[in-house]
Structure formats: structure tokens, C-alpha cells
């Protein structure tokens, strides 16, 4: 059987598998190398340290959500509908990650606390996406904002209840969907031009 | 020296002191009794179990904030100014608790996870206060809301970034004050009648 080339993506997929099995505390680079049938030296040729590997796998996990949301931003919906869809897609993606595989979600929650810089870059990217939607809305006369990036951050923080992992225990409670609708309605009303 | 009568309030004040010294994990009823110079049986005459005592001291801690906010609700400010003051008072009170005595704050954070019912009642009380402010605003034509309790909950959740203890690590970051102002401005705009 010909050996598949050892790409960063293969290493990161194997790392996620190892994290799923062993948890954040116990997963080692040796486990990752073993899962791939390579030496740990081969892994270190792509990721120089264990910390770098953990940062990269965290970024990959967060990027899945960013890519999903980028499709919404690129779509042709009117700005208000697009913003609502963006917020609903973010809530849905986070809720799925938390609900479908709670252990992996807990593992990544540990990893995000170790990788503050990766998380800050992720948040900046999401607020950048929101800024683009608000900009479209202001140009088309649907929204009003004195300072787009400030308003975009306010929209992100006002909806933190429905995307920040610190709130994950509340996402499966009865009424979470109605609570989301009520907050989004309030935020949308706050943005709408008059 | 005449002995002061052993009141629930004296026991709760001593319990907080013991929690401050020993932390949530190690504090015992025997420590509380020793601090008061009484037998642990005397403490149990007021609080039947350790869990009941821990629930009561948690409620006392949360009630401090509720009382501060009740004064704002009872005040004579116009509804929009009152709502802004209520949110600012809540943020300030939480930030003080977290910043002035981080160990005691961490201890109470453990206690709140043990006493979900006490916390839920506290949140219901705060949302009740918000409902009263919104009701005043609607009557005076400043605010619009199709369903006051739903809107009040939405205001509470949209500002969670600035009062929910899960967000405490973000309160001391540079720009927290501006972020608060931006979210409050967005929420206020969402409430304002047009």
C-alpha cells in the first residue's frame, strides 16, 4: 500500500481524533504519531512544538464555523435577513458542537483557554464579517450606525449568550430558541434605520 | 461581656468570613461555630444542614446586588435614564465584587453552581425589576414592547457580557467600558418607541 504523504491537515485530523479519545490533558504528540503510523519526529517537522500543534488544531476547529459564516456573508440575502441568518447559523453551529459531542467540546474549551491569541483572531474575523453585513445594510438604507466596527462588536457581544461557549450549559434549556429570537429582535430593532 | 444573641444574620456574616479564609471546598459548619464561639448544634438550630447554610449565604450575597438595584427602580429618573443607570449599577456592582476580592468572588462562583435554584430566583427578581422599568417606559411613551417580560429577559441576556460571572475575566480588559456603552446604546435604541 503506497504511503499517503504526511500533510498538516492529516496531522490535525489525527490530533483531533487523539484529543477525542484521550482528552486535552492526556493527549501527546507520541499518540498522534502512533495514530498516523509515523515517528514523532515527522510530526515535529510540520509543527515545531506541542503548543504549536495544539494552537493549530484549535484554529482548525474555530475555522469550521468561520467558513460556514463566510458563506452567509457572501450570499445574496438582504442585509437584515442576512444578519439574522448569520446569527442563527452561529448559534446552530455552536449548539451542534456542544450537543453532538460534549466531550470533544469540553476538550476544545480547554484548548481555547490555552490559545487566547487564536481565539482573539477568530473573534476579530467574526466581527469583521458582521461589519461587512452592517456596511451593506447602511449602504442600502436598512441599518443605521455611527461607527460600524463598534456596532458590529456590540452586536457580537449582545448575542454572546447564544455563541460564547461559557454559556453552553444554557443552550439546551427549554425556551433557548425563544430567548434567542427575543434578543435578535431587540438587536435588529436597535440597528434598523428610522 | 454579655453574649450577643445568635441571629441568622450573624451566622451568615461569620460564614462569609470563613468562606473568605478557607474557600468553598474546605469551609465547614464547625469552622463557622468556632468563629462565633458557639457549638455547631447552635448553628444547626438556624440552618438545618450545611447545604441550607450555603444556600442562604449565597442568597445573601446575591441580595446585596438586588437591593442596590431596587433603589434605582424606586428612583424618580425617567425610564430611559433609569434603565441605563440600572444596567450601569449592575455592571459596576459585579465588577467590584470580582475585582475587589477575587478569591471570595471565585468562592461564590462555586457556591452559585451548587445553588441553581437560588440563582434562578435571583435572576427572576432582576428581570422583574427590568420589567417594571420597561412598563414605566411604555406607559410614558418612551419604550415600545409587544411583551414586557419577554423583552425584559432579552435586555438582561443581551447585556450578559457585563453581569454574568462567566464573563468576569473580560471585565478588567481595556475597552470594557466602551464595549458596555456600545451594547447599552444598541439595546436602548432597540427599545425606543418610534
Distance of residue A145 Cα from the nearest chain B Cα, in angstroms = 10
> What is the tens place of the pLDDT at every residue in B5-55?
899 999 999 999 999 999 988 999 999 999 999 999 999 999 999 999 999
Tell me the DSSP string of A83-126: HHHHHHHHHHHHHHHHHH-HHHHHHHHHHHHH-HHHHHHHHHHH
Q: For residue B162, what are the CA distances in angstroms to A97, A150, A160?
A: 25, 16, 11
B109: closest CA among B123, B121, B98?
B98
Rg (CA), chain A: 19
A160 at B interface, C-beta within 8 A: yes
Per-residue model confidence (pLDDT) at position A44: 96
User: Are A186 and B182 a contacting pair, CB within 8 Å?
Assistant: no
Which CATH code of 1.10.1200.10, 1.10.10.60, 3.40.50.20, 2.30.30.90 fits the domain covering A1-48?
1.10.10.60
Q: Which residue has the higher pLDDT, B102 or A154?
A: A154
E strand or H helix at A121, and its extent? helix A116-139
Domain positions in chain A are: 1-48, 54-191
Distance of residue A134 Cα from the nearest chain B Cα, in angstroms = 13
Domain A54-191, CATH homologous superfamily name and number: Tetracycline Repressor, domain 2 (1.10.357.10)
Residues in chain B: 194
B131 at A interface, C-beta within 8 A: no
CA angle A26, A29, A32 (to 5 degrees): 95
> What is the tens place of the pLDDT at every residue in B138-153?
999 999 999 999 999 9
ipTM at complex level = 0.91
Interface of A with B in 175-194 (CB under 8 A): 178-179, 182-183, 185-191, 194
- Return the number of CB contacts < 8 Å for A and B: 75
**Chain B environment of A148 (Cβ under 8 Å):** none
Nearest CA in chain B to A145: B186
Would residue B191 be called left, alpha or beta, if left means φ above 0 and alpha means ψ between -120 and 50 degrees? alpha
Helices and strands (H and E) in chain A: how many: 9, 0
Amino acid at each position: 500500500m503506497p504511503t499517503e504523504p504526511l500533510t498538516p491537515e492529516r496531522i490535525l485530523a489525527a490530533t483531533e481524533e487523539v484529543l477525542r479519545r484521550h482528552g486535552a490533558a492526556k493527549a501527546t504528540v507520541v499518540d498522534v504519531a502512533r495514530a498516523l503510523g509515523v515517528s514523532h519526529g515527522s510530526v515535529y517537522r510540520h509543527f515545531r512544538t506541542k503548543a504549536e500543534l495544539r494552537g493549530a488544531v484549535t484554529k482548525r476547529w474555530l475555522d469550521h464555523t468561520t467558513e460556514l459564516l463566510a458563506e452567509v456573508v457572501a450570499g445574496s440575502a438582504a442585509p437584515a435577513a442576512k444578519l439574522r441568518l448569520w446569527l442563527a447559523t452561529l448559534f446552530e453551529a455552536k449548539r451542534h458542537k456542544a450537543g453532538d459531542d460534549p466531550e470533544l467540546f469540553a476538550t476544545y474549551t480547554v484548548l481555547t483557554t490555552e490559545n487566547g491569541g487564536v481565539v482573539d483572531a477568530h473573534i476579530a474575523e467574526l466581527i469583521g464579517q458582521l461589519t461587512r453585513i452592517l456596511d451593506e445594510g447602511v449602504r442600502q438604507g436598512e441599518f443605521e450606525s455611527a461607527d460600524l466596527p463598534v456596532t458590529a462588536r456590540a452586536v457580537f457581544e449582545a448575542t454572546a449568550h447564544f455563541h460564547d461557549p461559557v454559556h453552553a450549559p444554557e443552550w439546551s434549556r427549554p425556551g433557548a430558541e425563544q430567548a434567542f429570537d427575543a434578543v435578535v429582535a431587540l438587536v435588529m430593532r436597535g440597528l434598523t434605520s428610522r
